[in-house]
Chains A and B, each alone.
Chain A
Amino acid sequence: EIVMTQSPATLSVSPGERATLSCRASQSVSSNLAWYQQKPGQAPRLLIYGASTRATGIPARFSGSGSGTEFTLTISSLQSEDFAVYYCQQYNNWPRAFGQGTKLEIK
C-alpha cells in the first residue's frame, strides 16, 4: 500500500506571495498524481491531474510538477480564495490513497 505524505501540515503565506506545497509517495507513482482543493464546508475540487495538467477552469496560477515519489503544487500569487486545505492523491496503485493534507493559511 502506498502512503502519501504531505508537507508542511500548515503553511502560512501572505496574499500575493508564492506558495509551495509538497507531496511524497512511499514508492513511485510515476505521474499518476492529482491535487485537490477543499474549502471549509465544501467538497474537494480537482485542481491538477497527471501531476501537472490543470483541470478544466483552474487558473493558471496553479501549477503542478514532479514524478516518481516527489511532487509539488505551486500557487504563484496567492489570492484570498486560495486559502484552503490541499490534498494529493495517487492513482498508480490500489488502494487509491490521499495525503493527509496541507492547510494553507493567511499570514
Chain B
Amino acid sequence: QLQLQESGPGLVKPSETLSLTCTVSGGSISSSSYYWGWIRQPPGKGLEWIGSIYYSGSTYYNPSLKSRVTISVDTSKNQFSLKLSSVTAADTAVYYCARHGSGGGYPLPNWFDPWGQGTLVTVSS
C-alpha cells in the first residue's frame, strides 16, 4: 500500500525559505505513470495546489506561487521536496504531499490519490 509522509520544520521565520520533504513508501517514485504533488491548506480554509513533479524532474507549478517555489526529486531516496522562499504569514498552512495521476502507463497529472497526513507549517518570528 502506497504511503506518503511529509517532514520538515513546523516553524519558519518571515522572509526565510520553507523546506519540506515527502517520503514515499510502498511504491517507487520512479514509476513512469505518476507525477507527485504538493498541496496546501491554510487553517480553516480550502485547498491550493502548489506544484507537481515527475521522476525525470519535469515540473508544473501554480503561477500564483511559481516565482517562489522549487520542487525537486531524489529517486535514490524515494523522496520529493518543496522549497518556498520569502515566506510570510500568508504561507502558514498544512502542507500535503500526494501522488498526482491515475496510472495506466502514461503520466497524466489529474487527480490526487493517496495523500500524506499533512504537516502544519507556521510562519512567525
Contact = CB atoms under 8 A, between A and B. Distances in A.
Given A91-B110, A95-B62, A97-B49, A43 B102 contact: no
Contacts of B60: 94-95
Interface in A35-92: 36, 42-46, 49, 55, 87, 89, 91
Interface string A15-34: 00000000000000000101
Nearest to B6: A43
A98 B111 contact: no
Interface string B15-28: 00000000000000
A36 B113 CA distance: 10
Contact of A101 (B46, B49, B52, B115): B46
B63 interface: yes
A65 B3 CA distance: 30
Contacts of A97: 49
A89 B63 contact: no
Interface residues of B, number: 23
Contact of A44 (B48, B52, B109, B115): B115
A44 B116 CA distance: 9
Contacts of A34: 110-112
B47 interface: yes
A100 interface: yes
Contacts of B80: none
B95 to A, nearest CB: 11
Contacts of A99: 46
A96 B37 CA distance: 11
Contact of A49 (B52, B96, B110): B110
18 contacts: A34-B111, A34-B112, A36-B112, A43-B115, A43-B116, A44-B115, A45-B115, A46-B111, A89-B111, A91-B110, A95-B60, A95-B62, A95-B64, A96-B62, A96-B109, A98-B46, A98-B47, A98-B48
Q: List 3 A-B pairs, minimum CB-CB distance, nearest first.
A: A46-B113, A43-B115, A91-B110
